Structure 1
Amino acid sequence: MLTALDAAAEATPITAPLNPKATELVESDPALKAWALDKFDSNHDGWLTMFEAQPAIAAFRDIADADRDQRVTVHEYKAAIGFLQTRYNVR
């Protein structure tokens, strides 16, 4: 039998916060944009929606945050862009 707490938990979906600047970040660098379009453009229309850009920036952060301090420094950002260019052959 469901309790009121169980029913409330089932009715409320858990959603991650959206970053409204995700698309802007992806579009800020040609290599990042090319990689994100290749990996995260789910409908293959050549554009990333705010919803498609969310996992792209999360994946890029995982790549870029070399010291795992939850921040991406300028040095880490540049190194990650270099990695994308080399590994995924994007420019």
Structure 2
Amino acid sequence: MRNLFQLEREKLEEQFKTERRADLALSKFLNHVKFNRRSFEYLSEKMGGFESDELRRMLVRNGAVRSFGKDNVEWWELLAEYKVEK
């Protein structure tokens, strides 16, 4: 019974390894000291292999919010850093 549990655990850990690593990478991008705001274009380029909506869900899961600049560019930043633009 213990061996079966261990095998299932290892299988689940492998399935979520990519997700955990992607979350870690997004966290590093969003917590950068110099750049607290990133364009979606930049993030999707750096985080290749994810569909746009999947990447957006990952950003929200990591505490990010979306805004649009005057040039209609999609920007993402941590909610804690978010400033309402007037």
TM-score normalised by structure 1 residue count: 0.25
Task: Point out the structure with the larger strand share.
Answer: 2
Could you state the TM-score of these two structures normalised by the residue count of structure 2? 0.26
